[in-house]
Structure 1
Amino acid sequence: MGVKCQLLLNNEGCSLYKTGGEVTGTVNYLVDKPTEFCGATVSLIGTGYCRWQEGSSKNRRTYVGTETYVEQHIDILQLKDHEITQIEPGSYQCPFQFLLPEDAPSTHSDETGSITYKIKVVFKKPGFIKSSAKFSTTIQVYSNPQPTLPEPLIAGFRKEFLFSSKNKFVNIKGEVEKTFINAGEDIMLTVTIQKETGIPITGIRTELVNLMTYTAECNAQHINPTIVNGTTREYSGITEKSETTFRYIIPSFPHLFSIQNSKVIAKEYKARVTVRFPFPHINASLDLPVILNMLDCEIKTGEPSTDQLSTHDLPPSYWQVMNEDINKSDDEEYDGEKKNDYYEPQSSKS
């Protein structure tokens, strides 16, 4: 089309933008020959997207969810409706300033969904068949989650056993002192086990679970729990009838963070304790939710960012991503059964 673009971001050497903050910079564009345009815009667009499939062959169904968090535009050429202007060869600049919403969710990307923020530049050329030159670059956005859980948080349930006489059970109660955790800090978990059965507890395991929830436009959900690598700890079991209280430490890592304020993607964390029994009895797991806040989110890059924009070597635009075939991940580390509501004790049998 005879136009090339370069984007200069005034991000003060930081690779992440915080929600509620400004995104500023300059669009530098070069026109190599006299060219007519009927419009040109620079935009900040933030979108959420998820896609997964269920079933097989003829019964396979595809679920899709989309959401827009921010969409702001600046008119580069300042033209009136239906106005056409000819731009002579040369180099031009257009400064821009956008404001990220306070409640926008953090950037995220995996095989099932993504939350992306892009700066897009579009030049429109007049004609019977209108053509456009489109350029885009992705920026990384981080949002501090809000403390929405009570402190301390207590949950528990009763594990009962089939083919046993009355009063043969194990009560499991868990307590998390702090539910709003700065990523990298340890999670303090207190577990009380009341054992009123001769069936031995063969072991106790603690770990941190990452729970991803994707929601389609039809409100169908795809839930993907995985164990956070490096957080699993194994402890000895209990053979005698007793009531014992343990204090466990579950580690977290600085790069972990919860995602809130998105209708299509939620990223949560659970402190899990699993009480193990011999076969044929089913293990019992108790999950207590925590919120992880990433503190060290402004990673210095040393120099202001200068992104070369081209239509060939770029991340795909949003409307292109919407048509991609994104496959569901089969890598799932999930063990034990969920047998409790977080705030209401329940019983389970095996």
Structure 2
Amino acid sequence: MAEIRINLEPNVNGVLVFSPGDTLRGNAELIVQTPKRMREFYIHIVGEAIANWSSSGCHSTTIYTGKEPLIDFKMTVLGEENGPKFMSDPGAYKCEYAFKLPDNIPYSLEESGWIFDSYSGTIAYRVEAVVDNPYKMSKKIEFIVTRHDDLNLYPELKLPLKIVKQKIFPLFFKNDEILDMIVSIPYTGFSINQRIPVTVEYKNESTVDIRQTVVKFIRILTLVFPKEENPKIKTKESVVCEGRTHGCLAKNSIIIPIELVVPNLSTSNDMFCKVVSITYVIQIVAEIDSAFQTNKKVRIPVTIGKVPIRFEDQVQNNNTQ
């Protein structure tokens, strides 16, 4: 008979929630009451991202599973990996462990739902004590990782972004008419409760009105089955917030300023995880007032973090105050 005990010290607030760079500390104990045959007793700290979804066809269902290792730390207490089996003497075998969490791991995440077929995306972390004897007996403690990303660490997020799209209205026996749609944003990194300023400019040389402009802030969950030759990808989009404003009359031009406020939501994590990622886009749609024409759409990617971007003039003003 044997019993496994494992302990993980909580953070300063008394909870099992940690950030990248924190050090996990704890201990594990194997209590052997009678001689026991085993190969190894070890501590294992694991972090992994797992994407799952199903795709149903006419006669079958295909299951896709993508995995990405994030942490794989192992510390042997007794025996050795893939070593010979041995008989452990009765007694208590106790050890302490310490492990610094890497800086580049994503925050914990659990998402699931149904889009015609089921899907789930999980980023999870755990500490476990394992006895290999030869089947594995283990006991684990799960913990949560949070991030407080500083957007100032990514200089590219301070750069402006402009996207120009053109819609052509073909006409018989006449020159084609053109609609230019220009969407710009002063920078692409934003934090919770921050305002996102977007400018939409129309140069409508056509004889068709733009009825209205629809703005949506969209969260995208991306699941990846990372097959080398032909990776499979599934996305789930959800609208965080949306608004509508005026459009542009025919043979007219207009500049429309728009502001969105970032609500309290999970931050972008695509920089740290490829199998299960959260990203955001601002979608601008020009609704064309014609049953014979399709709407024009522009999407601007934005990154959501915890610490807002600070520009040089802000730093100088703070220093002079």
Provide the TM-score with structure 1 as the length reference: 0.73
Q: Which amino acid aligns with 1:241?
A: K
Q: CA deviation at 1:192?
A: 1.0
State the distance in 2 between where 1:157 and 1:225 align.
25
Provide the residue aligned with 1:202 in structure 2: 211
- Does residue 265 in structure 1 map to residue 266 in structure 2? no
Q: What's the counterpart of residue 192 of structure 1? A: 201
1:12 aligns with 2:12: yes
What are the Cα deviations for residues 11-50 of structure 1, in whole angstroms up to 9, with x where unaligned? Answer: 22255322233222233x4738335263321211111221
Aligned residue pairs, count: 288
Say whether the 8 Å CA contact 2:210–2:248 is kept in structure 1.
yes
Give me the whole-angstrom Cα distance separating, in 2, the residues matched to 1:15 and 1:246.
47
In 1, Cα distance between equivalents of 2:56 and 2:184 = 39
Cα distance between partner residues in 1 of 2:12 and 2:195? 32
State the Cα RMSD in Å: 2.8
Query: Cα deviations across residues 174-222 of structure 1 (Å, max 9, x unaligned)?
Result: 1111211123312111111111122111111112111222221324232
| CA–CA distance in structure 1, aligned partners of residues 90 and 75 of structure 2 | 18
Is the 8 Å Cα contact of residues 10 and 16 (structure 2) preserved in structure 1?
A: no
Matches within 5 A, 1:1-350: 1-13=1-13, 15-27=16-28, 29=29, 31=31, 33-36=33-36, 38=38, 39-58=40-59, 60-77=61-78, 81-82=83-84, 83-88=86-91, 93-111=94-112, 112-125=120-133, 130-143=134-147, 144=149, 147=154, 148-149=156-157, 151-163=159-171, 165-218=174-227, 219-229=230-240, 231-259=241-269, 260-278=271-289, 279-295=291-307
Closer, same or farther in 2 for the Cα pair 1:277/1:245, shift >3 Å?
same
For the Cα contact (< 8 Å) 1:212–1:267, is it kept in 2?
yes
- Matched-pair contact (CA < 8 Å) for 1:254–1:295: no
| Distance verdict in 2 for CA 1:30–1:121, change over 3 Å | closer
Query: Whose strand proportion is higher, 1 or 2?
Result: 2
Which of the pair has the greater relative contact order for Cα pairs under 8 Å at 6+ separation?
1
Q: Distance in 1 between matches of 2:160 and 2:16?
A: 35
AA aligned to 2:63 is: T
The answer to whether the 8 Å contact 1:254/1:294 transfers is: no
Task: Mark the CA change 1:198 to 1:16 in structure 2 (over 3 Å): closer, same or farther.
Answer: farther
Counterpart-to-counterpart distance in 1, 2:125 and 2:67: 14
Matches of 2:74 and 2:131, distance apart in 1: 13
Query: What is the distance in 1 between the residues matched to 2:304 and 2:244?
Result: 23
Unaligned runs of 5+ in 2: 113-119, 309-321
Distance 1:106 1:199, change over 3 A: same
CA contact (8 A) 1:257 1:293 kept: yes
Distance 1:35 1:57, change over 3 A: farther
